[in-house]
Amino acid sequence: MVHESPVSATDGEQGELFPDSSLPDELVGYRGPAACQIAGITYRQLDYWARTKLVTPSIRTAHGSGSQRLYSFKDLLVLKIVKRLLDTGVSLQNIRVAVDHLRARGVRDLAKVTLFSDGATVYECTSPEEIVDLLQGGQGVFGIAVSNAMQEITGTLHEFPAERADGGRIEPDVPDELSERRNARRTG
């Protein structure tokens, strides 16, 4: 069961944390093997979750042998959240309820959500007051800040091949000076 709270999105509220250029547009997707690496799951898990409709690719589903699923940024985020919930012992049944609830939100709205669970129930909190109320009730045991998962994913997306569902060209990111220095230091 997910504790639902109203979300009021103010324009630009998350603009500094997640600038528009840091998120791929809705036609940019990642194939299964890349989605697995980004979310930290096995291909077997990805395939099972797609077949059981826990997390289905929103850009392109597989149609027969040889076809490739294409997962959007939001799909990758949900995959990462599902993995974290599973790692903490939440049942697949409760994860399904939480995922259905998360699917209804846009990526920007998801950045404001923190999921808490006592291992049995998943609670959604969108304000510090809700978090305090939940913790004072003694129910929350662990939390997953969706914005942290978003930052992790956006930080690694450039390492994986992406493709556009419309067949268009993806412009490579122009690395900033700091990124170039870090890469130079890593490679020696």
The confidence score (pLDDT) of residue 170 equals 74
The beta strands (E) that lie in 96-178 are given as: 114-117, 122-125, 142-145, 163-164
Q: From start to end of 40-186, where are the E strands?
A: 70-71, 114-117, 122-125, 142-145, 163-164
- Say which residues have a Cβ less than 8 Å from residue 154's Cβ, sequence separation at least 6: 18, 22, 23
Q: What are phi and psi of 114, to 5 degrees?
A: -120, 125
**Spatial contact of 131 and 113, defined as CB atoms under 8 Å apart:** no
Residue 7 has a pLDDT of: 35
**Structure confidence at residue 104 (pLDDT):** 79
Give the pair of three-digit tokens for residue 129.
């007051």
Distance between CA atoms of residues 74 and 27, nearest Å: 11
CA distances from 68 to 35, 44, 51, 145, 150 (A): 12, 15, 14, 30, 24
Mean pLDDT score across all residues of the chain: 79
Which fold, 25-169? Multidrug-efflux Transporter Regulator; Chain: A; Domain 2 (1.10.1660)
Asked whether the predicted pLDDT for residue 43 surpasses 70, the reply is yes
Distance between CA 75 and CA 80 in Å, rounded?
9
pLDDT digit string, tens, across residues 13-23: 333 334 444 56
pLDDT of residue 5: 40
At 31 the pLDDT is 93
> Residue 163 pLDDT > 50, yes or no?
yes
